[in-house]
Every structure is written in C-alpha cells, then in structure tokens.
C-alpha cells in the first residue's frame, strides 16, 4: 500500500506540474457498479481527477464477473464502514 500511495502522490505532483496523461487507480465515488465507491482507473489533472476510465470493467470473464458479484456484499460493508468512520471524524473535528 505504501508503494501505491507513493506512486499516486508522484503522479499527482506531475499532473500539478502540467505533465499530461497521468493515469492511476483510485477509490472513487462512481456509478460503474451498483456500489457507491469503486477502485477505478482515473486520469489526473491540474487539481483534480479529470476523467474516470470505465473500460476496466468491460470484458470481464464469466469467472471474474462471478467473483466480483460474490465480493460485492463484503465491499459494500467496507464502504459503509468507511463512510461511517468519516462521519465520526467530521463530528469530532467540529
């Protein structure tokens, strides 16, 4: 995870410096699946995510689709836990 974080930060700084076509994966709020958040490939720009690249979910094999469907309840529980945690942090920071 440390490597992934370092890579994301490096690419973010490059995007801030004006380098074009910086792509990486990030957990983002999206409608790619029926989950409210999903890790997706994104294009990083000056100060934000410029684009969400939806093609990574296209062409999943039958096996991959079954695994994704089987994991959705666990992923959803993790998302809800994370949202709950962030709401607690906002309450304490006020």
pLDDT at residue 63, as a whole number: 97
pLDDT at residue 81, as a whole number: 94
Do residue 50 and residue 94 come from a single domain? Answer: no
pLDDT at residue 72, as a whole number: 95
Walk along the chain (94 residues) and give the pLDDT tens digit of each residue. 799 889 989 998 999 888 888 999 988 888 888 999 998 899 998 778 888 888 777 888 999 999 999 999 999 999 999 999 988 876 665 5
Do residue 88 and residue 50 come from a single domain? Answer: no
Rounded Cα distance between 83 and 90, Å, is: 11
Residue 66 belongs to what domain range? 59-94
Do residue 86 and residue 66 come from a single domain? Answer: yes
Do residue 64 and residue 86 come from a single domain? Answer: yes
Rounded Cα distance between 9 and 40, Å, is: 16
Alpha carbon 32 to its chain's center = 11
Rounded Cα distance between 39 and 78, Å, is: 13
Count up the domains in the chain and report the number.
2
Which residues fall within 8 angstroms of residue 72, CB to CB, at 6 or more apart? 33, 34, 35
pLDDT at residue 67, as a whole number: 96
């Amino acid at each position: 995870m440390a490597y992934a974080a370092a890579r994301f930060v490096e690419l973010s700084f490059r995007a801030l410096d004006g380098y074009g076509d910086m792509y990486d994966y990030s957990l983002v709020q999206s409608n790619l699946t029926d989950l409210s958040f999903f890790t997706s490939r994104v294009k990083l720009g000056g100060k934000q995510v410029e684009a969400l690249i939806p093609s990574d979910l296209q062409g999943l094999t039958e096996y991959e689709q079954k695994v994704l469907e089987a994991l959705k309840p666990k992923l959803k529980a993790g998302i809800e836990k994370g949202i709950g945690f962030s709401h607690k942090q906002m309450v304490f920071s006020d």
